[in-house]
Amino acid sequence: MATPALLIANVCRAYIQGENVVRVLAGADLEIMPGEMVALVAPSGAGKSTLLHIAGLLEHADQGEVFIGDTATAGLDDGARTRLRRSEIGFVYQFHHLLPEFSALENVVLPQRIAGLPVAEAEARARDILGFLGLGHRIEHRPGELSGGEQQRVAIARAVANTPRLLLADEPTGNLDPTTGEHVFATLSALVKQSGLAALVATHNLELAARMDRRITLREGRVVALP
């Protein structure tokens, strides 16, 4: 049987807000297989970003376990979590967070250089991905010279630069107009299918959610399947 790219088991996370304890995740379970694209649809404040941050090893669960592939992460120290995150996980946010003084190509090269890839290899891969995402003619441009949709496609290219097994996207089209959002989603979805990547995509867009492999929501801190 294939190993899930992401397996979340009985994850709990609470925040203290003044005098209140907010139980955001309370026994959340989730499994995503390679090549699967899952929509996370839930109202604001339901815990989507918390779930993504815990899945992406950016935040610790109070309880429970997160497997990235075969690796159990709850007992890992920060260094091991960071290395695992860099090699196995890519993030896309609502805002692109590209480095403004670097070109599109350099933005995609950088994480590969940090991972230790030689510059020629990193550039070749960056050209490939940017080309696949329809940005072959834009690689020398800085983020400020790109449209919103182009910026977000560069952010996607950067997220998958180190061939992660898991892509986590937090409302990646939330800041785009519908047509651009549609285009960015189409490229993202082609990339997932082509690469065998597993993707968890938080979105408010029900039309896009309907086109993913399955849909989940958060109810009382647990992951629940949607039709």
Which residues sit at the interface with ligand ADP, rule CB under 6 A?
15, 17, 22, 24, 42, 44-50
Q: Which is nearer to Mg ion, 93 or 185 (CB)?
A: 93
Q: How far is the CB of 48 from ligand ADP (least distance, A)?
A: 3
Q: Which is nearer to ligand ADP, 93 or 185 (CB)?
A: 93
Q: Which is nearer to Mg ion, 53 or 153 (CB)?
A: 53
Contact partner, 131, from Mg ion, ligand ADP, none, Cβ < 5-8 Å per class: none
Q: Which is nearer to Mg ion, 54 or 139 (CB)?
A: 54
- The total number of residues shown for the chain amounts to 227
Q: How far is the CB of 3 from Mg ion (least distance, A)?
A: 28
Q: How far is the CB of 109 from Mg ion (least distance, A)?
A: 29
Contact 199, 160 (CB under 8 A): no
Contact partner, 143, from ligand ADP, Mg ion, none, Cβ < 5-8 Å per class: none
Q: Which of these, 89, 96, 15, 95, lies nearest to 55 by C-alpha position?
A: 89
Strand partners, 5: none
Residue 210: φ, ψ to 5°:
-65, -20
Q: Which is nearer to Mg ion, 48 or 96 (CB)?
A: 48
> The tokens of 177 are what?
């107009």
Q: How far is the CB of 81 from ligand ADP (least distance, A)?
A: 18
Is residue 20 classed as helix, strand or coil in its secondary structure?
strand
* Interacting positions 22-51 with Mg ion (CB under 5 A): 48-49
Q: Where are the alpha helices (DSSP H) in 119-215?
A: 119-132, 148-159, 178-195, 206-210
> The tokens of 141 are what?
């441009």
Q: How far is the CB of 155 from ligand ADP (least distance, A)?
A: 18
Sign of the C-alpha dihedral computed for residues 114, 116, 119 and 123 taken in this order = negative
For residue 129, give the DSSP letter. Answer: H
Residue nearest to Mg ion (CB): 49
- Kindly list the residues in this chain that would bind Mg ion in the complex (CB under 5 A): 48-49
